[in-house]
Structure 1
Amino acid sequence: GNCPELDPLSDSSIGDLLRLPTSAAVSQTINIILFIHITTSKSYSPHTRSFLSQFSHLDERTIAATLKNPESALKEAEQLVEQTKDEHAFKGKTFRMVGMGLGAIAGGVLVGVTGGLAAPLVGAGVTALFGALGVGGTAVGLLASGLASSSVVCGALFGAYGAQSTAGMVRRYTREIRDLAVLPVRRPEETLAVRLCVSGWLTDRGDVTAPWTVFEGDDTYALQWEVEALEELSSALYTLVKTSAMRYVKAELIKRTFLASLMSSLAPIAWLNIGRIIALKAGSVLATLLSSHAFGTRPITLTGYSLGALVIFEALTQLAALPPSRTTHLIHDVFLFGAPVPADGRTWSAVRRLVAGRLINGYAASDYVLAVLARATDASWNVAGLQVVDVQGVENVCCDDAGVDGHLKWRGMIGRCLEICRAPGVNHEEVERQTREVRDTENTPELTSEEIGEATKPGLNEIR
């Protein structure tokens, strides 16, 4: 049980200890693991993505390109082998790979996508090539047997929303919702991961996809749902914030009083009620699409604001009611902004269980429109879009400093809010462009102290 005594003449230096691998070597190994996982399981779990991304950058774009173009990958890998042999002459050791091209991901290991993809090179040719790359026989076997064909993996991985039309797939789920579609924000490239974005209110049909051009990288789609109803809600909200009635409401909020009779008389309440009903139905459809792997067996990130966040939250709530074996492998990250949903701990905990990565609640305490409308249509006074959700694993991000000083700002400031949340794949130049548009079109004056006094005169009580 006692520690051995140290020999005075023993060598206690640590100079001969093995060095930690370089970041490039770690990246190469992690991408090898990812590729083997995808080709053998023919799926890409959000848990796998969340776990492996903790160690290194995942070169998902190159892996996807190789899956779709194995012959090109094989040819490039062969060229890279010859080039590196000439430059480094091996010297009896595994040569150091530099660069990560189409066929060089994971140090050239993608040459192993055989099984019908590169039939002429199956067998001794592939084994020899892998030997040159320093990859052992076990890895060669895994890679060679992992794929029966590229169509098998790509078909399972990319799902119905690859480069195909979405109309036929959605039509099966639109019995209760007249206007439902999944639209590409940009031309799909069949990446290893996918985003689905849901707008809330709309000023026009273009707002279904326009806010989400801030994203780049992963395939990004937008859920179109009941455009006409959302346009009517938007029009009512714009009218509301410019009326003396809303100025009176804001004054009452400043005084920390709430008049139920006033709230119930506001014009957008009817449209908001309709919007909530439709949003819940759209959420049910989205839950069905997700559980049936309509977007493939790849990680999906969900992002939405306002009623769009409600659609996503309803979908997650319904998925949480299903057995964990059917749902724990579906969702990677979720970003919700200005969500008109209760900050109920039990419900959010159930939703948190579904998400392999991050669950973000973006809120704005100064969103007085949401404060009035959400509380007028729901018995709960704790609204997630206005406050912190006190649940372990939920990241609460205050967006007041991002320029969200009202509910109508979520659409134009969504990119800035995503940057604050450190969401991956956000194009800063596009965010700045959208921010400038908001500033250029801003024409709603702030409520001055004189206007507050005018709005709170007894005569305005007639609007109740």
Structure 2
Amino acid sequence: MPSSDDQSLASLLTAEQRRDLATLIATTTVQMRTSITRGFESQNLTAGQKTTQSLESSGQDVPKEQPAVSENASSSDHSNLSSTEFYKLQSAALAFFDTWRDKVIHRVKEVLESESQSSKSKDPAHAQEVANAAAEEGPPSIPSEKAATDALLAVYPPISTPLSHLSYGERLTILNAILLLLLSLESYTAHSRTLLLRLSSSLHIPAARLTQMEKDIAVGLLTAASQMDASSSTSAAQQANATARKWKVGLASVAGAALIGITGGLAAPLVAAGVGGLMGGLGLGATAAAGYLGALAGSGVLVGSLFGAYGGRMTGKMMDEYAREVEDFAFLPLNDEQHNHAHLVEQARHKLEALNKEAEKQKEKEKRRLRVTIGISGWLTTKSEVLTPWHVLGDGGEPFALRWELEALLALGHAIQGAVESYAWSYIKVELLKRTVLAGLMAATWPLHFLKFSKVLDNPFSIAKSRADKAGAILADALIHKAQGERPVSLVGYSLGARVIYSCLKTLAERKAFGLIDSVVVMGAPMPSDVGDWKMIRSVVMGRLVNVYSEKDYILGFLYRTSSIQFGVAGLQAVEGAQGVENVDVSESVTGHLRYRYMVGQLLREVGWADLDDTAIAAEEHALRKVKEEEQKIEDEAKKKGEGQDGGKRDEQQAEEDVQRLEERLAAKMKLGDEAESDGKGETAQQGPA
């Protein structure tokens, strides 16, 4: 029987099973490549044409004269890529994928063949130990985990493989070994993450279990790296040799001897620090784990590069440079304190400097993860809303909130909230419910008395929308320059936060930056639903791309009414004709644009997001109930006030009075900043109706 240090895939799998594993990985990568190719397939109808067609089929009024949309139509919203440019984008995406796939196949083949040629063979006793190490798990009982597992199977249907009949513990060990092999490529790309999710589906392993593996390995790697406190000369030598050593990790055998030769003996601290122990709990020995990790196992420099210098690049001086381009551009970590505020970040930094630096460094490293998730708010009524909606994000991926253009978002948030709290809005909402938003947009039949609100809504929306586009381009640049390290990034945003994501993905596509983005969810997005745009942004998203929309989002419809309606509005309708784009209609639950801020966790759970904090979601649901109660009070008062009125001129007069009051209120708020909202009234305002 092999010693605990020698436990590996060779002692777990027979030669035939190792061939099955190689076949499964090859088949999975073929499917991944096919999905990329399908993302560029031509469609017969544009989203705008499908929008018009759907209105006609439903019997709704459509304007007789629609703007002509040519293939070369210019718009700030439209991707405007020629067929030649699309071909170049497709070729670049496939070339990147093929390079990544070749490295993966080579690395896996190298290890499996070296094990087949070794004297080791599957040991029945050891295989039984592994099988007993992790009892067969039943279906997830936590709502978010169950939804994530269901989504995993739906998005990535399992591939039939004999390996699925192995014990749960054996399947976990296989997945864990592949994760280590992927990390040995010295980067954890979005492609690698998607491969693991697809393998999890085929091996019938819940998404939450893969997330836990990632967390364990991140902690193990960083704990090991902290032990690698070599002399300055040794560190310098590591840095000088890092480039030459890249992609040569295949020289590391499972026995670990070659690995120690490559890293100058630095593998020993890693093994001693406990990575091997973590892996051993899932059937892999310390030596095998180190061998699978390759050069990464023995180099603090490479580990630091993987995590973006232990996470410091996302919050350090690098971000200060970007803040010069867009006001308040910063990544705020969400795993420090669950109820911290954006304006306390600077104070926290000063406080941290007074603490024990070594202890603080270790604490910071424990928060690092193999993935990064960034939440982006789209309007604000208080500065704390930069962070608050994103506390629902779990810690399987390292969670951040993006702070950008606070003043512009506060101006927009106050304007929207003031409009929907007005008596005029509550009264005419009944009239709007008689039609779909899209029909109202296309036919330009907004109630005249509501059009008066354009005085206070259009300008802040236009300013914030323009700055969202700029912030998105800067976000893309930060990711291209590896602010996050060599880790994949997932993006979630609502309202203009979704617009930031749209701009970011377009920029990444234009710069042909692949492998950076894992999954994306946009909610209530003020962005076009044109198929060309979505094919373009889909090319840089390797995982899921989800469009959450509501046909009852009247505020978004009103704000977007002067934009390029012929290309459709993603936040109001499904995106048609774009392969690999998931559409989720939440019209029944999201009855207004302000709802998204209070429903981020619930909606992410509905789409099957794999990493959520259910406790935070419960708190979110409690806040939403208060919002609904406040909304009902305002609507009841508006209804009572409207009884006996003759409508028409009275409605216009009421709207004019509301607009005047709103203008005065906004002027006062923007003059005083956020000071008035620190008292109880501020909390009430933030929970206004949607």
Q: Same fold (TM over 0.5)?
A: yes
Alignment of 1:417-456 (within 5 A): 417-442=603-628, 443-445=630-632, 446=635, 451=642, 456=647
Q: Contact 1:42 / 1:153 at 8 angstroms: preserved in 2?
A: yes
- Structure number with the bigger relative contact order (C-alpha 8 A, sep ≥ 6) is 2
Q: Which residue of 1 aligns with 2:296?
A: 147
Alpha-carbon contact 1:167-1:182 (below 8 Å) kept: no
Structure 2 CA distance for partners of 1:393 and 1:171, relative to 1, 3 Å: same
Please give the TM-score of this superposition, normalised by the length of structure 2.
0.53
SS of the counterpart of 2:484? coil
The reply on whether 1:392 has 2:579 as its aligned counterpart is yes
Q: 1:238 aligns with which of 395, 405, 417?
A: 417
Q: How does 1:100-179 map to 2 (within 5 A)?
A: 115=263, 116-119=265-268, 142-143=291-292, 145-147=294-296, 149-159=298-308, 162-163=311-312, 166-179=315-328
Q: Is the 8 A contact 2:313 2:483 kept in 1?
A: no
Distance (Å, rounded) in 2 between the aligned partners of 1:349 and 1:331:
15
- Of 378-387 and 58-67, deviating more is 378-387
> What corresponds to 1:315 in structure 2?
504
Over 3 Å counting, the alpha-carbon distance change for 1:418 and 1:388 in structure 2 is: same
Q: Which amino acid aligns with 2:651?
A: L
Structure 1 distance, partners of 2:483, 2:601, is 26
**For residues 55 and 196 of structure 1, what CA distance do their matches in structure 2 show?**
25
Match of 2:482 in 1: 293
The one-letter code of the counterpart of 1:316 is L
Question: Residue 27 of structure 1 aligns to which amino acid in structure 2?
Answer: L
Alignment equivalent of 2:401, drawn from 219, 222, 227: 222
Q: Which residue of 1 aligns with 2:386?
A: 208
Residue 409 of structure 1 aligns to a residue whose secondary structure is: helix
Give TM-score, length-normalised by structure 1: 0.77
Alpha carbons 1:71, 1:117 under 8 Å: kept: no
Residue 377 of structure 1, CA deviation? 4.4
Q: Which amino acid aligns with 2:333?
A: P
Within 2, Cα distance between the matches of 1:160 and 1:328? 21
SS at match of 2:322: coil
Is the 1:304–1:336 contact (alpha carbons within 8 Å) kept by the matching residues of 2?
yes
2:218 to 46, 60, 64: 64
SS at match of 2:402: strand
Shift of 1:161: 6.9
**Structure 2: which amino acid aligns with 1:200?**
G
CA distance in 2, matches of 1:341, 1:182: 23
Pick from 521, 526, 534 the counterpart of residue 348 of structure 1: 534
- Match for residue 37 of structure 1 among 151, 174, 182: 182
Match of residue 554 from structure 2: 368
Amino acid at match of 1:166: T
| CA-based RMSD | 3.6
Distance 1:331 1:353 in 2: 10
CA gap of 1:377–1:263, structure 2 versus 1, over 3 A, is farther
Letter in 2 for 1:309: A
Q: How much does 1:352 deviate?
A: 1.0
Q: Which residue in 1 is equivalent to 2:494?
A: 305
The whole-number CA distance in structure 2 between the counterparts of 1:358 and 1:111 is 40
Contact 2:267/2:290 (<8 A) preserved: no
Give 5+ residue unaligned stretches, structure 1.
Answer: 1-17, 74-107
CA distance in 2, matches of 1:120, 1:457: 79
Distance 1:175 1:185, change over 3 A: same
Residue 197 in structure 1 maps to residue 375 in structure 2: yes
Using the TM superposition, give the Cα deviation of residue 453 of structure 1 relative to its aligned residue in structure 2, in angstroms. 9.5
Match for 1:362: what amino acid?
A: V
Shift of 1:117: 3.7
Q: Does the aligned pair in 2 maintain the 1:310–1:340 contact within 8 Å?
A: yes
Residue aligning to 1:27: 172
Question: Once the two structures are superposed, what CA deviation does each residue of 1:39-83 show, in whole Å capped at 9, x if it has no partner?
Answer: x2110011111112223342111111221123999xxxxxxxxxx
1:379 to partner: Cα distance = 4.3
**Residues 198 and 304, structure 1, Cα contact 8 Å, conserved in 2:** yes
Extract unaligned runs of 5+ from structure 2.
1-161, 201-208, 228-253, 337-363, 657-690
**Residues 248 and 455, structure 1, Cα contact 8 Å, conserved in 2:** no
**Aligned equivalents of 2:315 and 2:411: distance in 1?**
26
Q: Give the Å deviation of 1:437.
A: 1.2
Report the CA distance between 1:167 and its aligned residue: 4.2
Counterpart CA distance in 2 for 1:135 and 1:177 is 48
Amino acid in the other structure paired with 1:392: Q
Give the drift of 1:394. Answer: 0.7
- How many residue pairs align between the two structures? 403
- AA of the residue aligned to 1:313: Y
User: 1:281, CA displacement in angstroms?
Assistant: 0.8
